[in-house]
Structure 1
Amino acid sequence: MNLSLFSIAILSVTLNAVAQIALRKTMLTLGALPASLFTLFSFLSNLAGNIWFLGGMLCYAVSIGAWMVVLSKAEVSAAYPLLSIGYLITAVIGYFFLGEHVNTTRVIGIGIICVGIVVISRSA
């Protein structure tokens, strides 16, 4: 995988992670899912106009397009493990943007995943 294709893959993974953060922010903004069908319409109406939700969906759409470019030029067995970088990106953004707690065990787990990505990338 050349640097250009790797960059597109990282862009796709990053946009996917940003979409996850935006959806989390959406739910923090809107609150819990409605418990009844009576309040579902109101919830969906608020969801449709929520800037975090719309931004997250846009990030997903662009991410899918970028990922299709990657898959058109790289073996899926080499490209797919790059999605695991999303764990690192999401944890970092979640920590700094949402104030989420990232404990030592989580950091070690993410580190192990990153080591695995390096090992797999050497085989491509």
Structure 2
Amino acid sequence: MKYIPFILFTVMTNAAAQLMLKQGMMSLAPISFEGANPVLKLLLIIFSPWVFAGLLTFVISMASHLYVLSKVELSFAYPFLSLAYVAVAVFAYFIFREDINAWRIAGIAFICVGTVLIAQSGRGHGAAEAASKPVQTSELAQ
């Protein structure tokens, strides 16, 4: 299917944003809202470099996802976002030394198998091509 690269781009930018947000929050001193203006604290968090980069990456991911949704069925595209969990778990293991135990590996395997099954459902049925045709407002009213 020709939109799979766009879907995977959405997944990878989503995962990258999560990793940047984690790095950003780890790089900040422990957050305490006592004795400080909470709005000021929130602005300091948002505009810290890693958090800000993560938020911008989320915007890119969302724009990509909106493009994908304009071309393929939601029930086809949305389950692919679960691959972001797989990417985050793998990268978190290597970057942040987070634990990946047998239960997480089993869950990741199930996510991968499910995504492959969903990807297969879009092949050769013309569903994606039919979904890429814009729906007219008059067709929705019928």
TM-score normalised per structure 2: 0.78
Structure 2 counterparts to residues 1-124 of structure 1, below 5 A: 2-3=1-2, 5-36=3-34, 38=36, 40-124=38-122
Query: Is the contact made by 1:30 and 1:46 (CA closer than 8 Å) also made in structure 2?
Result: no
Query: Is the contact made by 2:33 and 2:41 (CA closer than 8 Å) also made in structure 1?
Result: no
How many correspondences in the alignment? 122
CA deviation digits over 1:21-68, x for unaligned, max 9? 111112111244424362535523432431101110111011011111
2:77, 2:93 → 1: CA distance?
A: 27
Report the alpha carbon displacement of residue 87 of structure 1 after superposing the two structures with TM.
1.1
Normalized per residue, which structure has more helix?
A: 1
Aligned residues with identical type, % of pairs: 34
- Structure 1, 36-45 or 95-104: larger mean CA deviation: 36-45
Q: Where does the alignment leave 5 or more consecutive residues of structure 1 unmatched?
A: none
Look up the equivalent residue of 2:45 and give its one-letter code.
L
Query: Is the contact made by 2:20 and 2:53 (CA closer than 8 Å) also made in structure 1?
Result: yes
Q: 1:36 to 1:69 in 2, by over 3 A?
A: same
1:85, 1:48 → 2: CA distance?
A: 26
1:38, 1:8 → 2: CA distance?
A: 43
Q: 1:63 to 1:42 in 2, by over 3 A?
A: same
Let me know the Cα RMSD of the aligned residues.
1.7
- Structure 1, 37-46 or 105-114: larger mean CA deviation: 37-46
Q: Where does the alignment leave 5 or more consecutive residues of structure 2 unmatched?
A: 123-142
Query: Is the contact made by 2:68 and 2:77 (CA closer than 8 Å) also made in structure 1?
Result: yes
Report the alpha carbon displacement of residue 118 of structure 1 after superposing the two structures with TM.
1.1
Look up the equivalent residue of 1:115 and give its one-letter code.
V
